Amino acid sequence: MKSIDDFSRPEEYISPMDKHFRSVIRAWVDKDVMPHRREYDEDWKEHALIEPAFENLMANRGLGIQKALFPADLGGWGLGQSDYAFTIACTLAEEIGRADTAMGVAFMVTYWPLTTILVEPHVNRRLAAEFAPMFCKSDKAVFAALAMTEPQGGADIENMELLGGKTIKTTARLDGDVWIINGHKLWPTNTGGVGQLFGVPCTTRPGSTDPNDFALIFVPADVKGVTQGGPYEKAGMAADKNGDLWFEDVRVPAWYRVHGPGKDAQVFKEIIPWGLVASMGFIVGAMMNLYEVLYEFVSTRTYGNRPLKENDAIAGLIGRIAGDIEVCRIIAYEGARIGDRRNRPYGHPLYSEEVLAKLRNLKDFVCDRAVENFGRAMDVLGVYGPDRGYDIEKHWRDIKIIQLWMGGKQLCQMEAARYFYNCKTL
Amino acid sequence: MHKPLDGLFLSTREQIDEEEQRIVNTVRQWVEREILAKRLPYLEHYEQEFAEKHRMLLMDIGLQRLVLSEKDGGFGWNSTTRAPGLAAVLIEIGRADAAIAYMSALQFTTILASGADSTSPVGNLISRFYSTDKPVNPAMILPGAGSLDEQTSLFLGRSINARLIHEGDNDILFGKNIRPTGCGAMADLFCVVCTDSAGQPRIAFVSADALGVQRGNILKETGLKACTNADVTFNHVRLPREAILEGIDAVERLYLWLNLLLGATSVGAAMNFFEIVYDWASTRTIKGGSIMKENPLCASVLADVAEEIAIARFLIDDLARLIARMAGPHSPELQHVYTMSQIVGYRVQQGTLRAVNRGMELMGSAGYAREWHAEKHWRDIKTIQSYLCGVGAEVPVKMDTARYFFDRREI
């Protein structure tokens, strides 16, 4: 083992652009994030340290990566048209997650609602052109959010297979050529004051399970009636701001609905695989950093006056950790490839139960391994384990959040059971 | 909740006498009134609130004197027979705030390890230290990780990073940038496992005011935030003979108390987590309307939570009973109790952490939001667990266990 890059992944699947993307992001991580990340927890509210790093990554005076999904003719990089979009997403998540998974999620969630209008085969040119200047021409980091969770339902909204959106309380009413939106959302990444564009799942008929009544509508943050609360204080993930979001008689043009009746429900289901693959990428990146820290510690610290790694029992532990990182990385890229096969004859559509069940299953597995291995690694460090100076404890706090989000572990288990056992009532 | 916590998580109450139960009840009232009823403001102004509540517990209720002998003005809980009572008290405090319980556990351990009685020179020194009207904060330096550039003396495989050199009537303590198990930045008294010049384990009690005690920068740690920590250097610290406790037995006794009392601390924190998750699972709906706890999958996760806590509490009760028997005519040998304390200590930390980890799975974002308090218990227990490991995760404890049960001769 020479470096973190030697952890296996299916090389046959890797994008030709991988090396370039990875080196650019890693240089940014090493320069703008690594030296400051131990101070991020205290910066959760102000983002005085965090924001400049985002600017250098996302804004056009920096790397400009926030425009990557937009078509080239609209000023973007055209990644939405790439056959490797998922695999590149996994790479990005991994590289940023190595330093700070919260930065990874805040940045990548900006893409999340935009995938519904920018990724083949669902490109909505009119909306793409509408929002392209916001992302492709700005000298500031611009954040978007997918405002799903509601106070009464928790992860119900993500459980479309069973509930079909019937618990959604945020309403959209068509009034001539505008939608009037009312509702309250909780916890979206990139709220708490930073969000500038929201993808808002709504219902046009409360209580309905008809996919035609599900609407996904874009709402710019500066429209009258949109209110963002302040950020919540959390156990970790300081770079990701979450808060309350209220819509009170918010009026947006009718064509801000992403695709229309039926299709909105389909593309909403297609959003989930992106989140699952990115989650695995974040986790694997964090695990690779775990390996870096652990390697140094077990090579220089002793038990019984011998290096920790030379003790057979401790070697058994750290060997298992490295083995799990290896397996999880392979799984994450396999998951990404499931997404990238969506348009292939041998693939499945992103909204299919195959893709959802398999990716939820993989994400659940990777999260479980991460939760166990980070906890175990902290114990290997012993009295140094809780020290932020060793970085593992921050990842430990952050990756638990990844396990809990998007419906958490139990929803993953239900999706897997439904698919693999043909369960009818779960 | 329909049932009281004591009814749910059964403990062997016959171990606790009336006096102990009175103290437990008093502490419980303090927990309910001073912390649980005001939890959000308590967390919002944590530093000030912590100091005040901790002071109240130690001085107004008097727990600073709990394990001092009656002769020294204490409550007289300075014998191993009080182990069940002490564990019960720490479970109560841990339910409120593991950081306060943690500091109490260190304090009790320090005093008990010293002999806790002014009839012995060391006990006399420590009793005097704690016979004051101000809170005395302890810190502990345990054997743990060594470094490649130095061969150290060992306590059952763990490196002892402080050493004593005999000089005239004094012993001089040395040690560079040693990591305490919390509280290093705020301690008034350090309980330091060190070696003598022959490499034999000793325990040194060092006033933070002693010349040559230097603290490093304050560390940012996962949990137990109120127990501010810093590395400590002992640079030629002159100690009187009565500040030194001799013998490997002394270190084993130290671990024995730590495993019991920190185990009780984590059980207390986990029991409060249980209350939180009970409330959550009873009031939240899933799948569009059914109460969370009525769903079989969620119920099985909730069962895991309860199971881990119940078992952890049984283990702590059993360890307390084992320690209490050390004072009796059929006293078990120290090696046996030490080994069992390591096994139980490790299992209890693992179990309570697993309980919280699993329960958080059902809480979604509320699991990691500060305002729900679940995440604080999670961070605090994890910190205690890692501290107790010392280094190498569970391996040192497993080596202790194999050594005792299989007559293993290597470290």
Q: Is A293 on the interface with B (CB under 8 A)?
A: no
Q: Which CATH number fits domain A264-421: 3.40.50.300, 1.10.10.10, 3.30.450.40, 1.20.140.10?
A: 1.20.140.10
Q: Is the pLDDT of residue A190 over 90?
A: yes
pLDDT of residue B328: 76
CATH 2.40.110.10 in chain A, residue ranges:
146-261
pLDDT tier for residue A2 given thresholds of 50, 70 and 90:
confident
Q: How far is A130 from chain B, CA to nearest CA, in Å? A: 33
Element (H or E) spanning B44, and its range?
helix B39-44
Query: Per the CB < 8 Å rule, is B288 touching A409?
Result: no
Q: In whole angstroms, give the CA distance from residue A393 to residue A106.
A: 20
pTM score of the predicted model:
0.96
Q: In whole angstroms, give the CA distance from residue B196 to residue B153.
A: 9
With helix as H, strand as E and coil as C, how does A166-207 read?
CCCCCEEEEECCEEEEEEEEEEEECCCCCEEEEEEEEECCCC
Residue holding tokens 């820290």? A293
Q: In whole angstroms, give the CA distance from residue A315 to residue A256.
A: 56
DSSP state letter for A70: S
Q: Is A261 helix (H, G, I), strand (E, B) or coil?
A: coil
The fold of B248-406 is Butyryl-CoA Dehydrogenase, subunit A; domain 3 (1.20.140)
Say if CB A340 and CB A86 are below 8 A apart.
yes
Q: Is the pLDDT of residue A303 over 90?
A: yes
Q: Which two tokens stand for residue A242?
A: 């979450």
Q: In whole angstroms, give the CA distance from residue B272 to residue B115.
A: 33
* Residue B305, CB-side half-sphere exposure with 13 Å CA sphere: 29
Rounded to an integer, the average pLDDT of B176-180 is 97
pLDDT of residue B137: 95
Q: Is the pLDDT of residue B128 over 70?
A: yes
Chain A stretch 1-40, residues whose beta carbon is closer than 8 A to a beta carbon of chain B:
38
For residue B153, which amino acid is it?
S
Query: Per the CB < 8 Å rule, is A302 touching B369?
Result: no
pLDDT of residue A311: 96
Q: Is B411 helix (H, G, I), strand (E, B) or coil?
A: coil
Q: In whole angstroms, give the CA distance from residue B156 to residue B161.
A: 13
Q: Is the pLDDT of residue A381 over 70?
A: yes
Q: Is B363 on the interface with A (CB under 8 A)?
A: yes
Q: In whole angstroms, give the CA distance from residue A296 to residue A311.
A: 15
For residue A403, which amino acid is it?
Q
The CA-to-CA distance between both ends of chain A, in Å, stands at 44
pLDDT of residue A16: 87
pLDDT of residue A1: 62
Say if CB B118 and CB B124 are below 8 A apart.
yes
Query: Per the CB < 8 Å rule, is A383 touching B391?
Result: yes
C-alpha distances (whole Å) from B324 to each of A401, B24, B329 are 42, 18, 11
Q: Best of A379, A406, A424, A425 to disrupt the B interface by mutation (most B CBs within 10 Å)?
A: A379
pLDDT of residue A155: 64
Strand A143-146, strand A195-203: pairing: parallel
pLDDT of residue A154: 64
Q: In whole angstroms, give the CA distance from residue A287 to residue A291.
A: 6
Q: Is the pLDDT of residue A181 over 90?
A: yes
Looking at every residue in chain A, the average pLDDT score rounds to 94
Q: Does domain A4-143 have CATH number 1.10.540.10?
A: yes
pLDDT tier for residue A343 given thresholds of 50, 70 and 90:
confident
CB contacts of B160 in chain A (<8 Å) are none
Q: Does domain B5-136 have CATH number 1.10.540.10?
A: yes
Q: In whole angstroms, give the CA distance from residue A245 to residue A148.
A: 10
CATH number of B139-246: 2.40.110.10
Element (H or E) spanning A131, and its range?
helix A125-136
- The share of chain A scoring above pLDDT 70, in percent, equals 98
Say if CB A382 and CB B386 are below 8 A apart.
yes
Q: How far is B4 from chain A, CA to nearest CA, in Å? A: 29
The fold of A146-261 is Butyryl-CoA Dehydrogenase, subunit A; domain 2 (2.40.110)
Q: B248: closest CA among B181, B179, B198, B213?
A: B198
Q: In whole angstroms, give the CA distance from residue A184 to residue A196.
A: 17
Q: How far is B371 from chain A, CA to nearest CA, in Å? A: 8
Cis before B143? omega within 30: no
Q: Is B170 on the interface with A (CB under 8 A)?
A: no
CB contacts of A308 in chain B (<8 Å) are 145, 391-392
Chain B stretch 250-269, residues whose beta carbon is closer than 8 A to a beta carbon of chain A:
none
Q: Is A397 on the interface with B (CB under 8 A)?
A: yes
Q: Is the pLDDT of residue A157 over 90?
A: no
Q: Is the pLDDT of residue A245 over 80?
A: yes
pLDDT of residue A153: 67
**Continuous H helices in B58-181:** 83-96, 98-113, 121-130
Strand A301-303, strand A306-307: pairing: antiparallel
Q: Best of B283, B291, B347, B365 to disrupt the A interface by mutation (most A CBs within 10 Å)?
A: B365
Q: How far is B168 from chain A, CA to nearest CA, in Å? A: 31
CATH 1.10.540.10 in chain A, residue ranges:
4-143
Strands (E) located in B182-322: 189-195, 201-207, 213-218, 230-239, 244-246, 285-286, 290-291
User: Which of A160-169, B32-41, B280-289: highest mean pLDDT?
Assistant: B32-41
Q: Is the pLDDT of residue B149 over 70?
A: yes
User: What residue spans define the domains of chain B?
Assistant: 5-136, 139-246, 248-406
Chain B residue with CA closest to A364: the answer is B361
CB contacts of A385 in chain B (<8 Å) are 222, 386, 389
Rounded to an integer, the average pLDDT of A243-247 is 97
Residue holding tokens 């799942």? A201
Give chain A's largest Cα–Cα span. 78
